[in-house]
Structure 1
Amino acid sequence: MLAMIGAGAMTAPLAAVSARAPKRPSGQWRDSVIVNALGGLSNPNVENDGGTDPVRRIDARTIADARASGLSAVNVTMGYVSGAMEPFEYSVRTVAGWDRLIRDHPADLVKILSVRDIVHAKAEGRIGIIYGFQNAAMMGDKADRADIFADLGVRIIQLTYNPANAIGDGSMARENRGLTPFGRAVVERLNANRVMVDLSHSGERTCLEAARISKQPISINHTGCRALTDLPRNKTDAELRLVAERGGFVGIYFMPFLNISGHAGAEDVVAHIEHAVNVCGEDHVGIGTDGGTTQIDDMTAYKSRLAQEVERRRAAGIGATGERPDTFPFVIDLRGPTQFRDLADRLRKRGHSAARIEKILGQNFLRYGREIWGD
């Protein structure tokens, strides 16, 4: 949520990772396919350079932690989200930056274009990078730009961020006006290009209308359940149910919005997953943590940076209700390289079957991916 990764240069230590045998996860879930439907790949302990394009904070530790977590693939936010940069140009530039990064490190990273690529990434011990946008503002007023981004390998496009844009109202737009005529045209072009239509961050009407008009199932890749925690970033049962009924996918995040206090714990993640499964069915729920797999070493220094970032987001008009300097954009007891195994163990203790847990960890995303992208 708070770390927007740009097209900056990659830090040198990553080159050393390929020379070592990848560290694999151990235990019951070591063979699980794990897909983070919205997450990050960065080292939060490395400072940004303060420029328009932050330094991409990927180093040897980032890759080692991702491998140790068992992560098979992650939807990484690239492209324009907010700011003064020109959205289309900036988005093309960040896609090119990720292409270059992956091309320079083929033993560590692989660009995901199909479900088959995720399966291969798991088998080869590489981290699959799914190209995704968290705001469709780069479409400008041209819906056929969806064709360009699909050709560049973008596989997920979220229609809005928190405010309204030319496509529809986001979760923080009070009017809740739904899709615009242009937004309907964008959904049509995304369908035609077999790009996932993601309704995370959207207003309720925007989500419901997109689910109804889309010729393909849609996703809500990172959210919580508003029935449990009544905050705008969480989805109503009506949204969750309709997305599932149309064959879509819902990813539960590891975010402060899971608890009204803003201090979410692992038990909140489990509760929201269980509620989503009850509403959507076990074939439509997964995880989209909205975070990475490398822990923060110095929490005191991090809190200072976080306060500045929350204030920046507020001033830019892109913050969400529930964001405060004292609310971490992660779950304090469900983070780092063990987070996915810890979650699986918690679900197992709650009585969920291994088969259902495998679905939540990644198999449900693969099912949905086949529906949209093909195999």
Structure 2
Amino acid sequence: MAGPSPALAQRPAAGRWRNAIIVNALGGLSNPNVFSKGADSAIQRGVRRRRTLDARTLADAHASGVTAVNCTLGYVAGEGDPFEVTISDIANYDQMIRAQSRDLVKILTAADIVQAKRDRRIGLIYGFQNAVMVGDDPTRIDMFADLGVRIIQLTYNPANTIGDGSMAPQNRGLTPFGREVVERLNQNRIMVDLSHSGQRTCLEAARVSKQPISINHTGCRAITDLPRNKTDQELRLVADRGGFVGIYFMPFLDLDGSAMAEDVVRHIEHAVKVCGEDHVGIGTDGPVTQIDDLESYRERLAEEVAFRKRSGIGAAGEGPNTLPFVIDLRGPTQFHRLAELLRARGHSRLQIEKILGGNFLRHARTVWGG
């Protein structure tokens, strides 16, 4: 006799975690199955189309139980002026939230995350994955804060004027200008994110920041020795200073690039061992809606990886055959499935709810207030 469908099998799990606040510390809302053949990727264009979320994306997001997600806005790499691209993108997100306000809400404080849960809306946290749009003017950070940006990642994989990314071979750490940027971020109560950073940049930023910092999407280098993952020294310092670490659902969790759900659990457990149970969460680095046609997607992936390599923004451990997600931990059941895997490993309900979103909420209260 055939067993229950995956959807039916997930109902008890979804019910078990119905009251949990789930925060994806780096992710997004999109339908990756809606794709115009031959179109350049957003990162390659450097600009973005006017945004809207289709019915499937919204339905999947609600079904997943996600309360809030840190969405990457603005310039990361590619064409276009970084500042202009970023301002345009913020305007697009604002317009999208206004147009779909029954489902979406802009997150400005930690209290907004709690309210989003009550209202059954999905909170969007505005975040950058590169700070190059600051240019040489740290006062732009004041403007970004006024526009609702709540997280700024200092670097992407290469070096910039602020510090070295994880793929910069010199590992030079923060620049003097980078120290100015961190100070300005602190003044504006914007979360300082050290994902993608080089080791010295991360350690120095954690030490000079007057507020706790975060590493919103990473893995543990002690388990998988790749540059995108963080050393125990980095993880421990961030936690010791009151910060937050999010574990991603990415191929960098496995040296062969074929990460599975058990790898996510393994990295979470190592991070908890190093950081303590109050400082670890999730930052999947992916959407909730899954890709239906993987074979067609692999062709697009090869093009994207080739572009990233040409542009100097790729990372060791990614390639045309490494899917940028965990194959058995995707789709709208991903958070509940992870919770059940942790439960099966003996983690308590309180510990799991902290990992799902409670720890990010604690960190947000410290940095943003509310």
Do both share a fold (TM > 0.5)? yes
Q: Give the Å deviation of 1:26.
A: 3.4
User: Alignment RMSD, CA only?
Assistant: 1.4
Structure 1 distance, partners of 2:100, 2:178, is: 37
The answer for the alignment partner of 2:279 in structure 1 is 284
Is structure 2 residue 163 aligned with structure 1 residue 168? yes
* Residue of structure 1 in register with 2:292 after alignment: 297
**Does the CA contact (< 8 Å) of 1:306 and 1:325 recur in 2?**
yes
SS at match of 2:184: helix
The one of 172, 175, 178 equivalent to 1:180 is: 175
Which of the numbers 276, 297, 306 marks the counterpart of 2:301? 306
Q: Counterparts of 1:28 and 1:42 in 2: how far apart (Å)?
A: 26
2:114 to 119, 132, 136: 119
User: Following the alignment from structure 2 to structure 1, what is the Cα–Cα distance between the partners of residues 194 and 213?
Assistant: 7
Q: Deviations over 1:96-147 (max 9, x none)?
A: 1100110111101100001111111111111100000000000100111110
Indicate conservation of the 8 Å contact 1:78/1:94, yes or no: yes
| One of 202, 211, 219 as aligned partner of 2:206 | 211
Mapping of 1:311-350 within 5 angstroms?
A: 311-350=306-345
1:44 is aligned to 2:44: no
Residue in 2 aligned with 1:248? 243
User: Counterpart in 1 of 2:232?
Assistant: 237
Q: Within 5 Å, give how 1:136-175 maps onto structure 2.
A: 136-175=131-170
Distance 1:86 1:144 in 2: 18
Q: 1:33 aligns with which of 21, 29, 49?
A: 21
Which amino acid letter does the alignment assign opposite residue 219 of structure 1? S
Whether the 8 Å contact between 1:252 and 1:286 is mirrored in structure 2 is: yes
CA contact (8 A) 1:43 1:57 kept: no
Q: Contact 1:255 / 1:330 at 8 angstroms: preserved in 2?
A: yes
**Amino acid of the residue matched to residue 350 of structure 2?**
A
Give the drift of 1:54.
4.1
In 1, distance between residues paired with 2:298 and 2:367? 40
Distance 2:61 2:82 in 1: 29
Q: How many residues are matched?
A: 353
Q: Distance in 1 between matches of 2:247 and 2:316?
A: 18
- Structure 1 residue 27, shift from structure 2 partner: 1.8
- Pick 1 or 2: higher relative contact order, CA cutoff 8 A, min separation 6: 2
Task: Tell me the distance in 2 between the aligned counterparts of 1:152 and 1:63.
Answer: 24
List per-residue Cα deviations over 1:314-364 (Å, max 9, x = no partner).
Answer: 111000000111101100000000000000000000010000000000000
Checking the alignment, whether the CA contact within 8 Å between 1:44 and 1:57 is kept in structure 2 is no
Q: Which residue of 2 aligns with 1:91?
A: 86
Matched residue SS, 2:164: coil
Residue identity opposite 1:171 in structure 2 = S
Shift of 1:57: 6.6
- 1:274 equivalent in structure 2: 269
Q: Distance in 1 between matches of 2:353 and 2:163?
A: 34
User: Is contact 1:303–1:325 with CA below 8 Å preserved after alignment?
Assistant: yes
Q: Which amino acid aligns with 2:267?
A: H
CA contact under 8 A between 1:293 and 1:337: conserved in structure 2? yes
Shift, 1:58, TM fit? 2.4
CA distance in 2, matches of 1:135, 1:293: 23
Identity over the aligned pairs, expressed in percent?
Answer: 70
Which 5+ residue runs of structure 1 have no aligned equivalent?
1-22
| Residue of structure 1 aligned with 2:103, choices 89, 93, 108 | 108
Aligned residue identity for 1:81? V
- Partner-residue secondary structure (3-state), 2:152: strand
User: Which amino acid in structure 2 is aligned with residue 207 of structure 1?
Assistant: C
Note the alpha carbon deviations across 1:136-178, whole angstroms, 9 max, x for none.
0001001111101000000000000000000000000000000
Report the Cα offset of residue 236 of structure 1: 0.2
Q: Say whether the 8 Å CA contact 2:153–2:194 is kept in structure 1.
A: yes
Letter in 2 for 1:369: A
Partners of 1:57 and 1:338 in 2: CA distance: 23
